[in-house]
């Protein structure tokens, strides 16, 4: 029954894509799954011959710039929405994450054009006119694999590369709890279609071999504090740290996973000071009995049970008590 419903949803989304004149595809910034899903969907629309534009609210992260088509992705201001009669939002739990929260978007929504949301965050607000939300999926890229399979869309080598990257990054190379049989099976099919596993791993998981990142890790790890009341380890990255290591915010994809290697903590929290005057909080846990998405929601954020995040206005300042958010 469930499989039937997914099949119907896929056909419905496919028919909307075929009928559209020009589609805007959006996702959230700095994540392998988001960028992978965006580019794979672009490959599919190109194959359909539908006019489209790919857009992210920020630049493509440095670890996924190798993906085919990454240079095509626009990331400055949101394109004028009047030129699109359909929007597809991938891997973004709400309009803000997708970068769609402006007044023009509110206006666009009143026209009644389709807004298709495909996502696996269980905190997804269902902000589309068509919502396909599967919190059991390992990655949005795993859902898109099902989508292409359902509508019998051939998956090219380029699309397979993008999809496998999303599955690998969201499952931490099949090491975290998001890993499931469907993800492994999809990965196996994507390898058959030519996805270069070794290349993807080299770009997305060997970042620590980069000397600048190792230096940053050194600074961050040396400052980790432990709050025994909450069983929480807290680390922070300041703009000063980034400057000292010659890095930018876009080099930090996957950094929060460092918190996962600490044994015997309940939650890891990485606070990153961003150049736009906000602090980004990234929460990780390896435990089944803790839901970090609920924690993030208290600060207006969201995510998954084991990985979530939020953003708050603020910056770090040195005080007598050490680094504090002001």
Report the interface residues with Mn ion, using CB under 5 A. 33, 91, 139-140, 170
Is the separation of the CB atoms in 48 and 22 below 8 Å? no
Min. distance of Cβ 130 from Mn ion in angstroms? 19
Closer residue to Mn ion, CB minimum distance, 28 or 203: 28
Min. distance of Cβ 180 from Mn ion in angstroms? 14
Closer residue to Mn ion, CB minimum distance, 238 or 303: 303
Is the separation of the CB atoms in 203 and 235 below 8 Å? no
Min. distance of Cβ 185 from Mn ion in angstroms? 18
Closer residue to Mn ion, CB minimum distance, 236 or 281: 281
Tokens representing residue 294 in the block? 């609920």
Is the separation of the CB atoms in 103 and 286 below 8 Å? no
Min. distance of Cβ 80 from Mn ion in angstroms? 28
Q: Which residue's CB comes closest to Mn ion?
A: 33
Min. distance of Cβ 164 from Mn ion in angstroms? 14
Closer residue to Mn ion, CB minimum distance, 67 or 139: 139
Q: Please report which helix (H) or strand (E) contains residue 32, including its range.
A: helix 32-48
* Separation of alpha carbons 122 and 105, rounded Å: 24
Min. distance of Cβ 170 from Mn ion in angstroms? 5
Closer residue to Mn ion, CB minimum distance, 33 or 182: 33
* Separation of alpha carbons 46 and 199, rounded Å: 24
Closer residue to Mn ion, CB minimum distance, 34 or 258: 34
Q: How far is CA 224 from CA 197, 233, 267, in A?
A: 33, 7, 13
Angle in degrees, 0-180, between the axes of helices 140-150 and 2-19, rounded to the nearest 10: 80
Min. distance of Cβ 219 from Mn ion in angstroms? 28
* Separation of alpha carbons 212 and 29, rounded Å: 22
Question: SS3 sequence, 46-71?
Answer: HHHCCEEEEECCCCCCHHHCCCCCHH
CB atoms near residue 104 (< 10 Å): 13
Closer residue to Mn ion, CB minimum distance, 168 or 235: 168
């Amino acid at each position: 029954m469930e499989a039937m419903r997914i099949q119907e949803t896929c056909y419905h989304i496919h028919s909307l894509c075929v009928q559209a004149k020009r589609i805007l595809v959006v996702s959230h910034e700095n994540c392998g799954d988001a960028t992978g899903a965006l580019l794979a969907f672009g490959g599919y629309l190109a194959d359909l011959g539908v006019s489209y534009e790919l857009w992210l609210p920020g630049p493509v992260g440095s670890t996924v710039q190798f993906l085919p088509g990454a240079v095509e992705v626009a990331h400055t201001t949101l394109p004028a929405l009047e030129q699109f009669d359909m929007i597809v939002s991938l891997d973004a739990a709400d309009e803000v994450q997708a970068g769609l929260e402006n007044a023009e978007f509110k206006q666009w929504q009143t026209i009644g054009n389709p807004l298709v949301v495909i996502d696996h965050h269980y905190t997804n607000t269902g902000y589309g006119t068509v919502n396909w939300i599967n919190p059991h999926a390992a990655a949005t890229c795993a859902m898109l694999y099902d989508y292409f399979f359902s509508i019998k869309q051939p998956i090219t080598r380029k699309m397979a590369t993008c999809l496998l990257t999303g599955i690998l990054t969201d499952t931490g190379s099949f090491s975290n709890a998001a890993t499931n049989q469907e993800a492994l099976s999809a990965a196996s099919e994507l390898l058959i279609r030519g996805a270069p596993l070794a290349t993807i791993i080299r770009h997305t998981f060997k970042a620590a071999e980069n000397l600048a990142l190792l230096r940053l890790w050194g600074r961050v790890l040396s400052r980790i504090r432990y709050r025994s009341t909450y069983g929480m380890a807290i680390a922070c990255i300041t703009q000063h740290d980034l400057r000292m290591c010659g890095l930018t915010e876009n080099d930090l994809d996957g950094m929060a996973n460092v918190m996962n290697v600490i044994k015997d903590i309940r939650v890891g929290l990485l606070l990153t000071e961003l150049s736009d005057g906000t602090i980004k909080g990234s929460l990780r846990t390896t435990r089944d009995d803790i839901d970090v998405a609920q924690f993030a929601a208290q600060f207006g954020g969201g995510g998954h049970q084991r990985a979530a995040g939020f953003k708050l206005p603020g910056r770090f300042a040195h005080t007598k008590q050490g680094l504090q958010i002001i």
